[in-house]
Structure 1
Amino acid sequence: MFELRHFRKAAPVALALALVLAACSTKADNAGSSGSDSSGVKTDKGVTASEITLGVMTDKTGVFKNLGLGITQGNELWAKDFNDAGGVCGRKVKLEQVDHGYKADTAKTLYPQLEPKVLGMVQLLGSPVVAALKQNLLSDKLTSAPASWSSELLDNPYVMIVGTTYDLEIIDGLSYLQEQGLIKDGDTIGHVYIDGEYGKNGLRGSQFYAKKHNLTLKEVKITSTDTDLANIVTGLKGDAVKSIVLTTTPAQTGSALASNKALGLNVPVLGNNPTFDPALLSGPAAASLDKLTVVASSVPFSADIPKAKDVAAKYKATYKETPNGGTPYGYAVGEVWGAVLKKACENKDLTRDGIQAALKQTSSASTEDLVAALDFSKPGTPPTRQVYAAQPDPTAEGGLKYVKQLFEAAEAREYVAPFQK
């Protein structure tokens, strides 16, 4: 009786101790579990005592692989500089990278493997990919910076667009062409666009500008896998267009420009952020690139501003690939993430909810002009409406030189984005 009585008293104690030990073991194994550190900073997924992990879902093997590489290298350069400067909240940033090859199905497969490991995404490349994961980001409260600039994404508060949106790029770009006397009110213009959020959102900009200036707009829809645009440009020549707008892949841009020259059309061509790749300068379209103007909120690699020069120097000391404008953009996204992380640290909340709160408090994020100044405090509204205008130049590192520094067209100020309040 003595032994049984003592066993009955000891058993609950032993069970409680076992549960405590099991819980401690689980917490130790689950990096970034919910809780707070010794200084009272709240943490959850993607945050340990020494690291903050941010995700990179990029294209290393698909149609935007060169852009994806450039952005990723910019992300890496920023992370090194950020960590060398001490990181944030006693922690260094770590980047966890995956390649989806610009395929939404692949991204859907990779996402559940990556999501539990990260606090947020410093890169999520591709309109179809972002569209496929849009609900996941909302459900998981995963603040993400898409390398996709569609204003249609701005109904999701967890989408952090660094730069202006495709529609506003096109509005600003058409304003630049008209300012240069390359188009005028009443003209006919063509817009060749990929069927999807990227192309359609750019088309919104053309439609808005055309209505404001009595332009006749010829819309031509293609897929991301179309390679030869000669027949399309032939049709636009028959329509007597005075300019062509592109929201296409770089390879499609090359085909359109080569056809523009070969067919004797020779009209100015406007492309936005993703349409250009410096590889075009050594391809069949090289002799026809003088007709192209590219508009984007981020600077060309060769930009003559101090921060861009600093990033370019670090790039050349670290990488051997041909640079492109993705690198300063990728660095700029990191700078925005750094500002948000510092604000979250100041708020003592490095949880996903804390990141979202810090983002909404960010009304003047500066990247030292790598990207226009950004205001994330107004949900549904593009954080900037400014762009640089640039043109291909084989003598410029990265293949582009800007011909007009940051500007915002009057039409861009008037434009109301789909979810703007």
Structure 2
Amino acid sequence: MKGPLARALAMALVMPLAITACSTKGGAEANTSSADGLQTGVGVTDKQITLGVMADQSGPFKSLSTAITYGNELWAKDLNAAGGVCGRQVKLEIVDHGYKADTAKTLYPQLEPKVLGFVQLTGSPIMAALGKNIQADKVTTTPASWSSELLNNPYVMIVGTTYDVEMIDGLSYLHEQGLLADGDAVGHIYVDGEYGANGLRGSKYYAEQHKLKLTDVKITSTDTDLTNVVTGLKGKGVKAILLTTTPKQTGSAAAANKALGLNVPVLVNNPGFDPVLHKSPAANALNKLYVVASTVPYSAGIPKAREIAQKYQAAGYKEAPNAGVPYGYAVGEVWGTVLRKACDNKDLTRDGIHKAMQETTSADTGDLVAALDFTKAGAPPTRQVYVAQPDASAAGGTKYVQPLFEADQAKTYKAPHEQ
């Protein structure tokens, strides 16, 4: 680990732990007019725009979140080299919450008064703990969490589609490939909490449309051996296993699928796969695994993905890359679009960023992520996904087997807060 990220993590370790999360301003922001005629507020000076990153650098999703953070850094570096936004350089303030809500609640009031918005906030439990603060402080936030339940908060800017839609699209793919048929039995293993429940919401919707016999099994985030669960699903005669789980749990389910001779396709939401599984006991059991996400695999052959891969290698990061790198860069590109729109509106305040986000109907990410539309309140900004499979020989550990697509059922599905 190097540079700003390492310094920020060290800073996080020495921060006092006595502070509790609270709304620092009750939604009020002291705005001023800058020398160039812009309205500015929290996190903005005449020379700098500061954005926050609350990452999981030491918890169950550390590989994905670290990669997203590096993608964020690569974007900021490129943006600043090109002159920044509105005559200002972008700075990232980065802290590690370790996927612990209590830690995040301690760090938030120390970081929030410094930033215009959050370019990354990882984890459903963290969003649940801080959602009210984010809304009260009117701070536009991109979560590295893709639950459609988050879309009841007007300051949440999800880049990509949501877990429920991922599952609908993924099931449609299995169906079209002849790996699943109407009336089949399927099993959905999901981790307790908003992440798991949102993935299950999607599989239930698809099951209703296609008369699938769905067995759902709730597990805790600390469960590591899913052999008994998969054994139970085998007894149900399932033709596919669906996972909204941590990467280690995904590995356990995949290994059991093979060891028990079940050998059915396994469909997993995007945070549930980590390339480190290629070096785990599950390594020889990943051939039946399908990963659904709105962002390209690291190894994708599209020009922008190749460009980002080259930048990652040149930066000298020690960690093996994964799909989080192009995703983190894509999030930055979306933020760049919003910042430029706010600049055109002469309003670099939190209210100005929120307004600019709501006016954003597209953002050019070079197809790193599906086209996005933030103008429809409560609705996922896209319903398109890639389907990828693990590939140990590919940089980043996956290759995509299906370009961006949107299932018919994804088009008709209504998210919980969609208006």
TM-score range for the pair, normalised by the shorter chain length: over 0.9
Give the C-alpha shift of residue 366 in structure 1: 2.2
CA distance in 2, matches of 1:167, 1:397: 28
Matched, 1:43 2:44: no
Partner residue of 1:92 out of 72, 89, 92: 89
Q: Hey, what does 2:386 align to over in structure 1?
A: 388
Matched, 1:215 2:222: no
Q: Hey, what does 2:295 align to over in structure 1?
A: 298
CA contact (8 A) 1:366 1:374 kept: no
Give the C-alpha shift of residue 90 in structure 1: 1.1
CA distance in 1, matches of 2:293, 2:65: 16
Matched, 1:265 2:262: yes
Secondary structure of 1:57's partner?
A: strand
CA distance in 2, matches of 1:366, 1:386: 15
CA distance in 1, matches of 2:291, 2:86: 39
CA distance in 2, matches of 1:39, 1:55: 24
Q: Hey, what does 1:182 align to over in structure 2?
A: 179
- How many residues were matched structurally? 390
Q: Hey, what does 2:238 align to over in structure 1?
A: 241
CA contact (8 A) 2:35 2:46 kept: no
> Counterparts of 1:314-333 in structure 2 under 5 Å?
314-318=311-315, 319-333=317-331
Q: Hey, what does 1:17 align to over in structure 2?
A: none
Partner residue of 1:415 out of 410, 413, 416: 413
CA RMSD of aligned residues (A): 0.8
Q: Hey, what does 2:132 align to over in structure 1?
A: 135
Secondary structure of 1:284's partner?
A: coil
State the Cα deviation string for residues 217-263 of structure 1 (Å, max 9, x = none). Answer: 00000111111111101111111111000000000000000011111
Q: Hey, what does 1:5 align to over in structure 2?
A: none
CA distance in 1, matches of 2:318, 2:223: 30
Secondary structure of 2:286's partner?
A: helix
CA distance in 2, matches of 1:321, 1:44: 36
Secondary structure of 1:49's partner?
A: coil
Percent of residue pairs identical:
70
Query: Partner letter of residue 333 of structure 1?
Result: V
CA distance in 1, matches of 2:308, 2:336: 16
Query: Partner letter of residue 186 of structure 2?
Result: I
Q: Hey, what does 1:147 align to over in structure 2?
A: 144
Q: Hey, what does 1:377 align to over in structure 2?
A: 375
Query: Partner letter of residue 163 of structure 1?
Result: G
Q: Hey, what does 1:26 align to over in structure 2?
A: none
Q: Hey, what does 1:398 align to over in structure 2?
A: 396
CA distance in 2, matches of 1:245, 1:78: 34
Q: Hey, what does 1:106 align to over in structure 2?
A: 103
Structure 2 length normalisation: TM-score?
Answer: 0.92
Give the C-alpha shift of residue 282 in structure 1: 1.1
State the Cα deviation string for residues 49-108 of structure 1 (Å, max 9, x = none). Answer: 111000000000000010111000000000000101111111000000110000111111
Query: Partner letter of residue 99 of structure 1?
Result: D
Higher percent of residues as helix: 1
CA contact (8 A) 2:71 2:324 kept: yes
Query: Partner letter of residue 39 of structure 1?
Result: D
Q: Hey, what does 2:17 align to over in structure 1?
A: none
CA contact (8 A) 1:68 1:125 kept: yes
Structure 1 length normalisation: TM-score?
Answer: 0.92
Q: Hey, what does 2:339 align to over in structure 1?
A: 341
Matched, 1:365 2:363: yes
Q: Hey, what does 2:227 align to over in structure 1?
A: 230
Secondary structure of 1:290's partner?
A: coil
Query: Partner letter of residue 415 of structure 1?
Result: Y
Secondary structure of 2:49's partner?
A: strand
Give the C-alpha shift of residue 320 in structure 1: 2.4
Query: Partner letter of residue 212 of structure 1?
Result: Q
Query: Partner letter of residue 91 of structure 1?
Result: R
Secondary structure of 1:336's partner?
A: helix
CA distance in 2, matches of 1:254, 1:165: 22
CA contact (8 A) 1:366 1:372 kept: no
State the Cα deviation string for residues 272-301 of structure 1 (Å, max 9, x = none). Answer: 110111100111001000000000000000
Q: Hey, what does 2:275 align to over in structure 1?
A: 278
State the Cα deviation string for residues 126-155 of structure 1 (Å, max 9, x = none). Answer: 001011111001000000000000000101
CA distance in 2, matches of 1:115, 1:348: 23
CA distance in 2, matches of 1:292, 1:194: 18
CA contact (8 A) 1:83 1:93 kept: yes
> Counterparts of 1:3-18 in structure 2 under 5 Å?
none
CA distance in 2, matches of 1:331, 1:34: 29
CA contact (8 A) 2:148 2:415 kept: yes
